[in-house]
Structure 1
Amino acid sequence: MFGHGPSHPARTTALALALPLLLAACSSAGGTGTTEAGPPRSGGTLRLGISSNPDCLDPQQVGTNAALNVGRQLTDSLTDQDPTTGQITPWLAERWEVNADSTSFTFHLRTDATFSDGSPVDANAVKTSFDGIKALGAKSLLGSSYLAAYQGSTVLDASTVRIDFSAPSAQFLQASSTMSLSVLAPAAYQRTAEQRCQGEGLIGSGPFVFSSFKPNQEIVLTKRTGYHWGSPLWQHQGEAYLDRIDFKVVPEPAVRTGSLVSGQLDAITDVQPVDEPQFTTAGFTEPVRPNPGIVFNLHANTTRGVLADEAVRQAVSKGINRAEVTSTVLTPNYKPATSILGSATPLHTDLSAQLAYDPAGATALLEADGWVAGPDGIRVKAGQRLTASVIFSSVFNQNQSVLELIQQQLRRIGFDLRIELHTNTENTQRQQSGDYDFLWYNVTRSDPDILRQHFSTKAGNRSRLTPGNPLDEVLDQQAATVAEDVRGLAVDQAQRLIVEHAYAIPVFELTQVHALGPNAHDIGFEASSRLRLFDAWVSGS
């Protein structure tokens, strides 16, 4: 099941069963440390090496894993999402109702949760928090998109709040489980957004509280005493096991790896493919989980140059050997794309047959389309070379190596892919202005509505499509209901249209690969493949 809510008005959701959830995906060792460590124990400090400095700690404002991995430990959300099934389950909200067109969501809150300043997590706090996220505007990198149609929240009583939207927003139910829409105390909004970024007034109801932040060095969190309202999906209830979490900022992969091997760190994030083999034996474990959302892809501007020709785009898709990309540049932990959505995304459709490597088919398409081999092997047609550029940034260390291999693969079918490295800011500017042939990117979200945000002509429209096309229609349909059967059909059709017309060309799924030393245990992932450290514990000295 994807949705945990009603498919028609005034039907109340039932409470989900409080079953323990093990690590959603991991190495054969399960990401839980050595088996002889014994049962989980309370106390101790987890020294966790992270790959970049969080510019902002407020989960309502940030979009990077480095920041969200911190923010998730400090704050709770209205709902939670099962990483295995995609089901939305209770957390701060015990139950909810959704109206027929998914424009109104009524949440009934549990009454025993408090913020770390002692104030209650009540309907007024939820309203204040959601109004505060909306007021952030563009500063809320993810929340602003989740709340694009937000009209406001109404306090019905102390433990009941209704959240209304001006347009169908089925995606909001999943969004309510994310740390981007997690709930902060009303007192937090007495501080500026910039102050909250540095941890000042960052008052949540989560199992840990903020202690200190030294930029480019470390972030320290400490256990919240008395915490007892954790998600039913977690492995235990009550307080967190750890007394303290030290997030150590270690940008250099080799230094991060060496610090874990030498015992200076207990665990690290963002293990590079070249370093993976040393963490699969000798007491180390390697938790991994593919990211849900839009996979790494070549997103075509269908109005520009040779990419305006659908046969060319289809040939490019057939000319990419996705299995060679993952086996040569990456590792077995990374999966070839089987759709524009990653396999961990609810309502993902397996289109691997349509994305099979088929250079003969690519050649046949191009030749039938009038593209003939030129003197340097690159095809030409009416004096035009078969060439396009891709703009990318180095947010994932292997991006350039992947694109260079794709460049080689496409030359075999006579296509010249030019590779252009830019900063994130430059790429954003060019994407917004339409100054690109291909965009190379991925987006993490555990809800298929991410397709609407990037493909709909009413939203991002990165393919530069004409309004009123069939893709728009099915993207609108999936946005209008939380009923899985209806929504699932629309999402399936959207994926098929994107792949069939090669509006974007999926390549591989990003995967979170971490490593644990022998004293670190039960570091888990939530549904968006970010860290959940409530069940984590340490053994040894």
Structure 2
Amino acid sequence: MSSFSPAKFVSLAAGVLALTACSPGAATSDSGPPRPGGTLTIAVGSNPDCLDPQQAGTNASLNVGRQLVDSLTDQDPATGELKPWLAEKWEGNGDSTSFTFHLASGATFSDGAPVDAAAVKTNFDAIKALGAKALLGAGYLAAYRGATVLDPRTVRVDFSAPSAQFLQASSTMSLGLLSPSAYRKTAEERCQGDGLTGSGPFVFSSFTKNSDVVVVKRAGYNWGSSLWRHHGEAYLDRVDYKIVPEPGVRTGSLLSGQLSATTEVQPVDEKQFQGNGFTELTRPNPGFVFSLQANVTRGVLTDERVRQAVDKAVDRQEVADTVLSPNYKPATSVLASTTPFYTDLSAELAYDPAGAGRLLDSAGWVPGPDGIRVKDGGRLSAEVIFAPVFNQSQSVLELVQQQLRKVGFDLRPAPRTATESLQVQQTGDYDFLWYNTTRADPDILRNFFSTKARNLGKLPAGTPLDDALDRQAAASDPGTRGPAAEQAQRLIVEHAYAIPVFELTQVVAVGPTAHQVAFEASSRLQLFDTWVSGS
């Protein structure tokens, strides 16, 4: 494969695009068996915010981190069932406040330290201590009381409140394990890869900002997930993640053979990879859909009728049809339809601009001279903070802005970097936040809506939503957990704490030399079984 050169691509792109057929996708298979060796060169659309999977939140980061760390369990992407990985078996107590994991033997971190019960305790203690820096893990361990080493291969994890959700959390990379030596480095150093020592099938090699991240095969690895296709070491010698913000450069570089694959294929480019030796891999993200999350203590959004009007004025189908592609679904709840215990609330989320107008009339907002409603000398306006980690966010928000103007609401998109967006979240200085978060469990809602967790909506404590979120987190019985998760979704939609817009889908284009590129349950890349030919 030739070396990667965006400049070289520019001169080739037009010709390559013209020659590519738009036929149905073909499988990336080869007549021979998988071949060890070679490099997978894959483009990502943004600079990773942090390489430490215990802190990271963006796809660009997590698609790297998943290769570096193993987890106690793994989750079957097809069924949602938990399967053995570092833990060969586990059990919980009756009220889901205590879980005991029995570790498989032989696993080590890349610095030679054993993956033992003491290492598990060190990791969970450290994630808990990270607080808000552990963007997802802090929520998973919100009620964490501590871990007890029962013997070198047995660890008990205890919670101060029922936490049935923890078993699924144990399969995520946010609770993936690092060597105890990693914590000699600061959280900031680990974000840059310094001391980022896991037990995974790949080892961190280098990170050059705005250029690439390189990971290499872990020699001697032999303790992979029970869900993986083969045993032993990964096939690939190396994975080179090229940081390429421009969608057209990603597309053209794959078409011209400079890349093996690319993430974040844009809707307008999808047909380029449907045939002619290319494969388009898609998987809807479970979890919290892309939404406008309201700060209910801020400006015009303190009035529930205003928030409900915004909800009714968003035409979700138009967003999917105009800006996205058939691979993306309009939101029908605050949870994606692929999430366990999802509830279809499409009737409650129906497009109803007339209803929106009636709500705004009742709230005292009248049309102003430019069409934007006014009240007591103020305009019906709110800003939405977003980080452009999904390339289409700007276009989506601009369309939603047009839709809301039709009912007299002025939505003002305000782009920020991923780091700036996180800082804004922490300060609470926002009207709306625009984001999604992936997790194959309804407990993701507790992370962001519970007043005992991040509470990005600034909701008052003691609401019925708090109770529903607590009940779904605690219940291990589906007959109890399902109704609680449904109630939580209904309350969020009813009170318009968030205005869901669309379900994110991962769209990865794979060239003819790459094989068995796969997604895990959270729609992140899993590259252990991936191999390359012709290199």
- TM (norm. structure 2) is 0.88
Q: Is the 8 A contact 2:388 2:394 kept in 1?
A: yes
Corresponding residue for 2:484? 490
Q: Does residue 108 in structure 1 map to residue 102 in structure 2?
A: yes
Aligned match of 2:316: 322
User: Distance in 2 between the 1:105 and 1:500 partners?
Assistant: 35
Q: Note closer, same or farther for the CA distance 1:169–1:277 as it changes in structure 2 (3 Å cut).
A: same
- Out of 506, 512, 532, which is 1:512 matched to? 506
User: SS of 1:113's equivalent?
Assistant: coil
Between 79-88 and 195-204, report the one with greater CA deviation.
Answer: 195-204
What's 2:409 paired with? 415
Q: Report the aligned-residue RMSD.
A: 2.5
Distance 1:300 1:39 in 2: 52
2:365 equivalent to 1:339: no
2:152, 2:523 → 1: CA distance? 33
Three-state SS of the structure 2 residue aligned to 1:254 is helix
Q: Please give the per-residue CA displacement for 1:53-90, whole angstroms capped at 9, x wherever unaligned.
A: 33543322322222221221122100111223322222
Instruction: Write out aligned runs for 1:28-427 (5 A).
Output: 29=25, 32-33=27-28, 35=29, 37-54=31-48, 56-367=50-361, 369=363, 371-380=365-374, 385-427=379-421
**Structure 1 residues 217 and 428: CA distance shift in structure 2, 3 A:** closer
> In 1, distance between residues paired with 2:362 and 2:99?
52
Conservation of the 8 A alpha-carbon contact between 1:100 and 1:481: no
Question: What corresponds to 1:538 in structure 2?
Answer: 532
Counterpart CA distance in 2 for 1:192 and 1:385 is 46
Pick which of 270-279 and 497-506 moved more: 270-279
Q: 1:330 to 1:477 in 2, by over 3 A?
A: same
2-structure distance, mates of 1:169, 1:28: 45
2:472 corresponds in structure 1 to 478
Change (3 A) 1:38 1:28: farther
Question: 2:14 aligns to what?
Answer: none
Q: Partners in 1 of 2:378 and 2:195 — Cα distance?
A: 59
Greater alpha carbon shift after TM alignment, 455-464 vs 343-352: 455-464
Letter in 2 for 1:66: A
Correspondence for 1:438 among 432, 438, 461: 432
C-alpha distance 229-28 of structure 1, shift in aligned 2 (>3 A): farther
Q: Structure 2 vs 1, CA of residues 432 and 68 (structure 1 numbering), >3 Å: closer, same or farther?
A: closer
Deviates more, 1:361-370 or 1:229-238: 361-370
Note the C-alpha offset of 1:232: 1.8
Name the SS of the counterpart of 2:61 in structure 1.
helix
| SS of aligned partner of 2:318 | helix
Structure 1 counterpart SS, 2:460: coil
Instruction: Extract unaligned runs of 5+ from structure 1.
Output: 1-26
Identity over aligned pairs, percent? 71
Offset of residue 248 of structure 1 = 2.4
1:4 aligned residue: none
TM-score relative to the length of structure 1: 0.87
Q: Deviations over 1:194-217 (max 9, x none)?
A: 554444443322222233444433
1:87 maps to amino acid: E
Separation (CA, whole Å) in 1 of partners of 2:451 and 2:122: 32
Which residue number in structure 1 is paired with residue 519 of structure 2? Answer: 525
Provide the C-alpha distance between the structure 2 equivalents of 1:411 and 1:96, rounded to a whole number of angstroms. Answer: 54
The amino acid across from 1:489 in the alignment is: P
Alpha-carbon distance, 1:337 to partner: 0.7
**1:118/1:523 CA distance change after superposition, 3 Å:** same
Q: From the superposition, tell whether residues 233 and 405 of structure 1 become closer, same or farther in structure 2 (CA, over 3 Å).
A: same
CA distance in 2, matches of 1:28, 1:484: 39
Paired residue secondary structure (2:395): helix
Residue 185 and residue 374 in structure 1: after superposition, are their counterparts in 2 closer, same or farther (change >3 A)?
closer
Structure 1 Cα separation of the partners of residues 428 and 132 of structure 2: 20
- The letter of the residue matching 1:269 is T
User: 1:403 offset after TM fit, Å?
Assistant: 1.4
Provide the rounded CA distance (Å) in 1 between the counterparts of 2:194 and 2:497: 44
Per-residue CA distance 1:393-418 (angstroms, 9 max, x = gap): 32322222211111211222233323
Tell me by how many angstroms 1:192 deviates. Answer: 4.6
SS in 2 for 1:154: strand
Is the contact between residue 136 and residue 447 of structure 2 (CA under 8 Å) also seen in structure 1?
A: no
Contact 2:443 2:472 survives alignment (8 Å): yes
CA contact (8 A) 1:37 1:539 kept: no
The whole-number CA distance in structure 2 between the counterparts of 1:397 and 1:530 is: 17
Deviation at 1:383, TM superposition (A): 5.7
Tell me: CA distance 1:400–1:483, structure 2 relative to 1, closer, same or farther (3 Å): same
Cα distance change on mapping 1:128 and 1:47 into 2, 3 Å: same
Pairing partner for 1:459 from 453, 477, 485: 453
Contact preservation (8 Å) 1:79, 1:93: yes
Cα distance, 1:322 vs structure 2: 0.5
| Cα distance change, pair 312–226 in 1 and its aligned pair in 2 (3 A) | same
Change (3 A) 1:56 1:388: closer
Q: Distance in 2 between matches of 1:505 and 1:199?
A: 36
Inter-partner Cα distance in structure 1 for 2:421 and 2:44? 25
- Structure 2 distance, partners of 1:301, 1:197, is 29
In structure 2, the residue matched to 1:3 is none
Larger deviation, residues 206-215 vs 328-337 = 206-215
Whole-Å separation in 2 of the counterparts to 1:213 and 1:374: 52
Structure 1 residues 461 and 230, CA, compared in 2 at 3 Å: closer, same or farther? same
The aligned residue for residue 442 of structure 2 is 448
CA offsets 1:346-374 (integer angstroms, 9 cap, x no match): 22111112112122333344445554444
Q: Contact between 2:49 and 2:418, CA under 8 Å: does it hold in 1? A: no
Indicate conservation of the 8 Å contact 2:316/2:351, yes or no: yes
**Matches of 1:432 and 1:185, distance apart in 2:** 29
Give the secondary-structure state (helix, strand or coil) at the position aligned to 1:482. coil
Deviation at residue 317 of structure 1 after TM alignment: 1.3
